[in-house]
Structure 1
Amino acid sequence: MKSIPSFIIIIYSILCISCIKDELPNAEADILTCEVDHQILKKDPIIQNERIQILVKSYVDLTEQAPFFTLSAGATISPASGTARNFILPQLYTVTSEDGQSKKIYEVSYITSAVGSKYEFEHVKIENGKYDVFYEVDQNNQSIMDWGSGNAGFSLTGVGSSPEDFPTARLLNGKQGQGVQMVTRSTGNLGSAMGKPLAAGNIFIGEFDLGNSIINPLKSLRLGMPVDFVPIAVTGFFKYQAGAVFKEGGIEKPDKRDSWDCYAVFFETDANLKYLDGTNRFTHPNILGIARIAQEGRVEAQKWTPFYIPLNFSSGKVIDEQKLKDGKYSLTLVFTSSIDGDTFAGAEGSTLLIDQIEIVHDDEK
């Protein structure tokens, strides 16, 4: 009787193990999607780690809302998906994995307050025990918006060991109270190996899509949140110091010096456009107005220096007051320590500090 070749036995064993693994109960306990009546939404629900924010129109009755969730395969949720609850205050849901070994508690909030127009950066939390996240609150001290940044992507490099090591962090001594510190940092050996040697410090109104941060970085920016005002200008205070050595593609460019950037974009959302990204932030036809600091304004400054950037509106664009009330117009505001940071060019150590930022809007003229 012929013996069975050893490599066939190995392959057979691997296949058997794979089959067994496929049959094991799922260990994940995540909410994957959140669905509510689209008629009441200002923006698609924002699902983050253990938190969901549902931005709805101001007339919505929050005392009896019943969101529906889809979960990890085999997972269960308590209270059950579709249960009517009072969302005047955030409500908690517990998701249990199919194997019963993992549980995750989600805080689900319905938010009727629009994003404000004055930003002092006094509210900061530490995400995943690693980096700072700035957020805004309403008059009831309820969180209504997290500022986006590239910190989550930087965390994948393993370079940062404390919040101060990340590109975007709190500044304890701002112009008044706390501010924001943005520093262009090296991404270490891993980042260099992936052709992304630098990470600019940035902060923006919108969300950071971690899934796209490696394969398509420009798509990782989901820019914009609904506003109920028409912006006219951006004002605030800054300090800036460019890093010593500008690099592009990892190669030193002695004739170049880094600079910072700030821009705001006001645009209309529709069925096809929920947010802008790094590929269309200045060019999409739904854009109504753009404010961007001029080249002569991107100076280095060791003392707190004021700036004023007016919005330039596209000719022929008309604001629909009902759409404005319904949250169909969105605004993004972006700051970065390296103007070419989206292509991983800049100078390590370039530092932008900002504080007391305000969007001047129509009823403040």
Structure 2
Amino acid sequence: MKNKKIFFTLPHNNPSGGVKVVNEFVNLCREKGYESFLCLPSDEVKLATFLNNSAPVKSLYEMIKLSTSEDYIICCWQSKDEVHAVKKSKAKLKVLWQHGILIPNTNKDVGDLIYKEKIFNKYANVSHSCGIYIKNKYNLDKMHTINPFFEINRKEIIKENERNGFLILARRGSEYIPKIKNELKNLNQSLTILYEPYKNNHFINLLKIHKYFISIDNGLNYSLSWKEKLKGKKLNWIKHDKNYLGFPVPPLEAALTKTIVIGFAMGGGLEWMNSECLFLAKDNDINDLIQQIHKAIMTDKLTISSMQEEACRKAEFFNKENSWKQLINILEIKDNDK
């Protein structure tokens, strides 16, 4: 059998949970013996330097030239550049793998035409709940789920009684930080705020020494720092009646390090996030988030330990082999095909 290539596409390779996930899938395909690349617009071809193991990259133009009728393309965004390259490619199977229900709608994107035109053979989402919503919204025949996977080295996690303080990522939702910071100060609790740019490995190491992680990712409501990245231009989205993130990544990484999670599920996180395994606040409700912080501090050690174990158990479902099975199922290839 001819060697098959599996191409993934993105509009950029900058720090984000989605970019991290796609890089890991490219590397997974290569581990399994397939030639695989992350393909980007010509002016965005660069390695994901925030990761320890960035996937090999090529331009979308190179993807068009390299693709054959034996190959596969997984498009991970709705940019015009990517859609054009997908249309031009010779790949036999073209999959749109959306991360959530949010659809970009700028002059560089195709908007929801991505679902109205017959561009792709199949559709997938990182989240089952988000995928079902999109399937019903656009009357699609079928929606697959390809979950992200996570691998955490737990050897360096320090003893529970030596872990202290709260950790926050200053990305989306940064407008909540001043109120949280003031509240924790009043409670005589320490807070570490990790600002961009940062290495993902550094974030994981910080999780291992902190007792609590506060997830403040608020989906559609972008913080000032995010707007600054867009040079003051407001990014337009096709908004639905739900505010679903595809799959909040940092809370799950926190669960795997047995760091106590407090925060928002933002729809897609409900695949595993509930009140049995973390302190779940109402989406984008800062007052409820503050209440959950108080609740976490006051909860007894036995209950906390039980929640940590349950969160870790749920998070362990999102592993490499389960994600690989989901991927090869949608690509309709056997595990030993090359």
TM-score normalised by the chain length of structure 2: 0.28
The structure richer in helix per residue is 2
Q: Which has the larger radius of gyration?
A: 1
Q: Which has the higher strand share?
A: 1
